[in-house]
Structure 1
Amino acid sequence: MNLYSEYYVSENCERFVNKIWCLDNSIGESLIENKLVLPNGCFNLAIVSGNAIEVHTSKNKYTMSEGFYFCSQMTNKVLVNIQPKTKVTIIQLHAWTLSMFPKYDLSNFSDAILKIDPTELPFKAKIDSGLNSDISELLNIINNYFEELSFSNPIKNSIEKICEIIKLHNEEITVSEIGKSLKVSQRLLQIRFKSATGLTIKNYIQILKFRKSVDQMVNSNLDKLSLTDVALYNKYFDQSHFIKKFKDVTKTTPKTFNSSLYFLSKKR
């Protein structure tokens, strides 16, 4: 059994869904504790099957029994304990995906988890939350829904455009420059973005830069790649600035960072 696994959606679905990942302790006999998850600029729809998972965010502790949960943007590391006979399947949604549903105002919702009624989910088919649920069935439901959403919304909204501009500039762009590009005032951009994501544009950029630096550290040999190299490559002012920002999120330094404690994305 692989505790951590990843599954990828169709190309058209990728516009709104980054991937699906799974934490599987369904045949385990003991508690898996003190595992960590890092912020990545995405929302998560979590499906808990079996017993329960305990999650500690920077603001609260949540005991998540079987059911469906909406996980907001996270700005700090999250600690996870998974009970035996428990599986957690997580649909990772891009930062702009919730902006397709403007009735949701997420301005004051970050580092938080909310249990949701499955009848409120927009998918046409019912998602199985049982311990023996089939990941291929879930992939079909997710692909069908978001492919249709993409087809019916060919024009990108302002939140998706903001995120696209940030990516095109490798996270090296100011709010002022984004505003000029979209011909929208900085103030209006900030209000729209925070309402849709719970983050300021600057927070979002910082999270993306941080995750890029972590991925680079994990997938490189730090004996050959210095912290200065990582800092400069990811456009931090210097090594000290990089270390400070790294400690803000992980509460540890890059040198003492132990990747084995974390659930980290696989290199695609």
Structure 2
Amino acid sequence: MNLYSEYYVSKESERFVNKIWCLDNSIGENLIENKLVLPNGCFNLAIVSGNAIEVHTSKSKYEMNEGFYFCSQMTNKVLVNIQPKTKVTIIQLHGWTLSMFPNYELSNFTDSIIKLNSAELPFKTKIETGLNSDILELLNTINDYFEELNHTNPSKNTIEKICELIKLYKEEVTVSEIGNSLNSSQRSLQIKFKIATGLTIKNYIQILKFRKSVDQMVNSDLEKLKLTDVALYNKYFDQSHFIKKFKDVTKTTPKMFNSDLYFLSKKR
């Protein structure tokens, strides 16, 4: 049994969905504890099957039994304990995806999780929560919904444009430069972005830059790749600045970072 696995949506759905990932302890007899997840600039829709998981964010502890949960943007590492006979399937939504649903006001919603009623889900097909639920059926449901959303919304809104510019400039762009590119005031952009994501634009950029640094460390030989190189490559002021930002999120230094404790993205 693979505890961690990833699944990918269609090309059209990728505009809104980064991927689907699973934490599967469905045939396990023991508690899996003290596993960690890092922030990555995405929202998560979690489907808990079987018994329960326990999640500790920087704000609170959540006991999540079988059902549906919406997870906000995370700004610090998250600790996860997975009970035996439990599976968690997570639909990872891009930072701008929730801006397609203007009824949601997320400006004060970070590092938090809320339980959803199945009736609150927008999908036309009912999503099963049982341990034997089929990942392929879930992929079809997700693709059907987000492909239609893509067709009915061909134009990008302001939040998606902001995120696109951040990606285009590889996280090296200021709010002022984004405002100039979009012909909009910094204040207006900041307000819209905070409502749609719960983060400031600067916070979002910092999270993406941090996560890129971690992925670079994990996918490289850190003995050969000096921390100074990682810091400079990702445009930190210097190694000390990089170490400080790293400790802010992980509570440890890059040299002491143990990737085996974390659920980290597979290299695609």
Aligned pair 1:189/2:184, yes or no? no
- Find the counterpart in structure 2 of residue 69 from structure 1: 69
Give SS of 1:110's match.
coil
- Find the counterpart in structure 1 of residue 51 from structure 2: 51
Deviations along 1:97-129, whole A, 9 cap, x unmatched? 000000000000000000001111110000001
Identical amino acids, percent of aligned pairs: 84
State the aligned residue count: 268
- Find the counterpart in structure 2 of residue 206 from structure 1: 206
**CA distance, structure 1, for counterparts of residue 256 and residue 223 of structure 2:** 13
Structure 1, gaps ≥5 residues long: none
**Residue type at the aligned position of 1:93:** L
Deviations along 1:144-174, whole A, 9 cap, x unmatched? 1000000100000000000000000000000
The alpha-carbon deviation at position 223 of structure 1 amounts to 1.3
Give SS of 1:245's match.
helix
**CA distance, structure 1, for counterparts of residue 150 and residue 184 of structure 2:** 24
Give SS of 2:103's match.
coil
**CA distance, structure 2, for counterparts of residue 109 and residue 223 of structure 1:** 39
Aligned pair 1:251/2:251, yes or no? yes
- Find the counterpart in structure 1 of residue 35 from structure 2: 35
- Find the counterpart in structure 2 of residue 24 from structure 1: 24
- Find the counterpart in structure 2 of residue 164 from structure 1: 164
The alpha-carbon deviation at position 256 of structure 1 amounts to 0.2
The alpha-carbon deviation at position 224 of structure 1 amounts to 1.1
- Find the counterpart in structure 2 of residue 143 from structure 1: 143
**Residue type at the aligned position of 2:79:** L
**CA distance, structure 2, for counterparts of residue 224 and residue 56 of structure 1:** 34
Question: 5 Å matches for 1:91-170?
Answer: 91-170=91-170
**CA distance, structure 1, for counterparts of residue 157 and residue 128 of structure 2:** 31
**Residue type at the aligned position of 1:10:** S
**Residue type at the aligned position of 1:5:** S
**Residue type at the aligned position of 1:140:** N
If the length of structure 1 is used for normalisation, what is the TM-score? 1.00
Structure 2, gaps ≥5 residues long: none
If the length of structure 2 is used for normalisation, what is the TM-score? 1.00
Return structure 1 stretches of 4+ with deviation > 4 angstroms.
none
Give SS of 2:256's match.
coil
